[in-house]
Amino acid sequence: INNLPDLLFYFPFRYEVLTRTDLNEEKTMIDGLLISDPTVFYFNYKKNVLKFKLQIKEKVINVHIYNRAFLRPRLKKNITITVIGKYNSEKNTLVASDLLFGPIPEEKKITPIYHQTAELSNKKIINILHKALTMVVPESVVPSEIEKKYDFIPFVDALKETHLPTNEERLNKAIMRMKYEELFILMLKINFLRKNKKKQGLTRAVEFAKVLSLIKSLPFGLTPDQEKVIQEIYDDLVSAKRMNRLLQGDVGSGKTVVAILAMYINYLAGYSSALMAPTEVLAQQHYQTIKELVPHLKIVLLTSATKKKNQIKSQIKEQKYDIVIGTHALLTEDVEFTNLGLVITDEQHRFGVNQRKNLMNKGTMPDVLYMSATPIPRTYALTIYGDMDISSIKTKPANRKPVTTMVKTYQDLKSVLEMMFAELKKGHQIYVIAPLIDESEKSNLESANEIYQNMVKAFGKKYQVGLLHGRLKGEEKTNILNDFMSGQINILVSTTVIEVGIDAPRASMIIIYNSEMFGLSTLHQLRGRVGRGDLASKCILLTEKATARLKILEKTNDGFLISEEDFKLRGGGDLFGNLQSGDMQFKIADIKKDYSLLVKAKEDSAIYLDEKKQTPEIKKILNEVAKLA
């Protein structure tokens, strides 16, 4: 809190509604007659306790209240006072945290409760706010015509009500008004950014027929959703509008081929493309796939493991390649592109906002495509991704068999091992995911090791077991994964480093230890490692106790539904990592609960992108945003 507006928008996180209670240990609020002159005892340095007797109907109790010696002159015998605190029946004493003069008011007393610090008690915060509210009158950004439209209580009154509540009905209206204020400002900025980003981009004279002939040469027919998305991307790329598009599709829905076709369109127009993936293995996998599907294009892989980096970098600068595939290594300053027309980020939620921007800035005005396997809950789609167009692949290729998911407890471990054996006999492969014990990599490694030893004990005579974890060097990791992909390893025990994008079509089973530790979306991603070919596949979720939450995964394979559930249960941080959810800190609105208000704010604020309609407050905000963008 740096200034008065910060202070005024420091909202209570809850309200306490006090009504008359009986005497009880938890929270007592009761009034009675003061029947003794109070006495004050001083102790330690500057501390004191005030004691008196209070008569409540027939009963007389002792009341102690700390550090209120200054109240003594007002506490006269035979007045009625109200005390709030905890009552100890053995000692017949109520230790009061607060004291009000007079009987309990008929109207309920609502106390705002703020987040506090050791030095700043709730009471202090309330006092400071009372003062502040008499000093400044902040301006609302929401125009008055909108206040009228919803019959809102005036902004300043609403602000006061949130800190000095009078009654519940009015308070609820006030909270709504303040939430709307916050969401209106947010959506105004997002609408503005979205409009601004649609500025001039590259145009490409490419006939769709050429794209179609590449599609015809693919080893499979595209799904209707893939076709629709490619059309959307094509339209963006040929038009002068700059593409800023998010492609979301469940694991295994076939996003890679869409990326390839986009890069092909870009290539036909004479530009180069960059594709960035979050891991070495994934980048390598993309490299292989792309080489197979568009063999006549010049393609290069650039990761930290790449040899002759400098040579490749200078070739990239000379536009010797049509497609550059890589990891974070693409982001280093000395990687320079010429005619970079299209930038694609795979598994985009694995990258921070700045990393993604960094890649984009390597071209002059490249079109941008982000891909994500984590479907975005509605509110997020409107907010953190509100400045993007969104394409979705909702159905998977037809040959897919659904993954059968089973929640099992450790008592069932024997039957799980039998199921594993049956898969191995068929020549299929298995992932075993070791638990995520805590933040420390070391203990995760220990548990992975233990499971690895057990798997070797159970299957080691006949089958190869591999162990993959975050402590391995890049090259070791790649070797193990390659052995798994080629079928030399039958069972791969791994920490969650495996999570992203690996495509091993002979893997038909995944077993996840301590599955209760993971978010539903993460579990869904993990099980997406199997069922990628045409094998019927199984996912076993091991846990102490089968909960309703985990059982959601037995019932549905719909990633969109799962991410909504996860979002309700755990919030956005787990879905997007801190980098992104950190952008979304609200002072009063609750993105999980206020969706309909958000939609209204989005529609209402869009009107004010028209300069003629802009109030000075709105102009000021948009100027600030324009400076940042």
**Residues forming the site for ligand ADP (CB under 6 A):** 220, 222-223, 226, 249, 251-257, 373, 397, 399, 501, 503, 532
Q: How far is the CB of 535 from ligand ADP (least distance, A)?
A: 12
Q: In this structure, are residues 111 and 127 in contact, taking their beta carbons and an 8 Å threshold?
A: no
Q: How far is the CB of 500 from Mg ion (least distance, A)?
A: 8
435 binds, among Mg ion, ligand ADP, none (CB under 5 to 8 A by kind): none
CA distance 452 to 445: 10
19 binds, among ligand ADP, Mg ion, none (CB under 5 to 8 A by kind): none
Q: What angle do CA 100, 106, 111 make, to 5 degrees?
A: 55
- The total of other beta-carbon atoms located within 10 Å of residue 216's CB is 8
Q: In this structure, are residues 491 and 463 in contact, taking their beta carbons and an 8 Å threshold?
A: yes
For residue 398, the number of C-alpha atoms closer than 13 Å in the C-beta half-sphere is 5
| Nearest position to Mg ion, beta carbon | 501
CA distance 119 to 289: 60
Q: How far is the CB of 250 from ligand ADP (least distance, A)?
A: 7
Cβ within 8 Å of residue 395, ≥6 positions away: 223, 224, 225, 253
252 binds, among ligand ADP, Mg ion, none (CB under 5 to 8 A by kind): ligand ADP
Here's the x/- map for Mg ion, 509-538, by CB under 5 A: it reads as: ------------------------------
49 binds, among Mg ion, ligand ADP, none (CB under 5 to 8 A by kind): none
Part in contact with Mg ion (CB under 5 A); list of ranges 264-272, 462-470, 498-506, 582-590: 498-506
Residue 605's H or E segment, with its range, is helix 595-606
Tokens of 539: 């996912």
Tell me the H-state helices in 165-254: 168-197, 208-217, 224-238
Q: Is 467 or 562 the residue whose CB approaches ligand ADP more closely?
A: 562
Between helix 573-581 and helix 559-570 the angle, nearest 10°, is 70
Tell me the H-state helices in 426-558: 441-459, 474-485, 520-527, 548-555
Q: How far is the CB of 304 from ligand ADP (least distance, A)?
A: 22
Which amino acid, one-letter code, is at 438? D
| Nearest position to ligand ADP, beta carbon | 254
CA distance 449 to 451: 5
CA distance 104 to 31: 6
Tokens of 57: 């109907």
Q: How far is the CB of 141 from ligand ADP (least distance, A)?
A: 41
366 binds, among ligand ADP, Mg ion, none (CB under 5 to 8 A by kind): none
Q: How far is the CB of 373 from Mg ion (least distance, A)?
A: 6
What are the C-alpha distances in Å from 84 to residues 24, 27, 31, 269? 11, 7, 9, 76
466 binds, among ligand ADP, Mg ion, none (CB under 5 to 8 A by kind): none
Tokens of 149: 């439209």
Q: Is 435 or 501 the residue whose CB approaches Mg ion more closely?
A: 501
CA distance 178 to 184: 10
Part in contact with Mg ion (CB under 5 A); list of ranges 283-291, 327-335, 485-493, 495-503: 495-503
Q: Is 128 or 222 the residue whose CB approaches ligand ADP more closely?
A: 222
Q: How far is the CB of 503 from Mg ion (least distance, A)?
A: 8
What number of chain residues touch Mg ion (CB under 5 A)?
1
Q: Is 249 or 435 the residue whose CB approaches ligand ADP more closely?
A: 249
Q: Is there binding between residue 278 and Mg ion (CB under 5 A)?
A: no
Give the chain's end-to-end CA distance (angstroms, integer): 25
326 binds, among ligand ADP, Mg ion, none (CB under 5 to 8 A by kind): none
220 binds, among Mg ion, ligand ADP, none (CB under 5 to 8 A by kind): ligand ADP
355 binds, among ligand ADP, Mg ion, none (CB under 5 to 8 A by kind): none
503 binds, among ligand ADP, Mg ion, none (CB under 5 to 8 A by kind): ligand ADP
Q: Is 324 or 373 the residue whose CB approaches ligand ADP more closely?
A: 373
Which of residues 12, 38, 386, 501 is near Mg ion by CB under 5 A?
Answer: 501
Q: Is 255 or 350 the residue whose CB approaches ligand ADP more closely?
A: 255
Q: Is 8 or 281 the residue whose CB approaches ligand ADP more closely?
A: 281
Q: Is the dihedral of CA 409, 413, 418, 420 positive or negative?
A: positive
Strand intervals (E) in 57-119: 59-66, 80-88, 93-101, 109-113
Residues of this chain that interact with Mg ion (CB under 5 A) are: 501
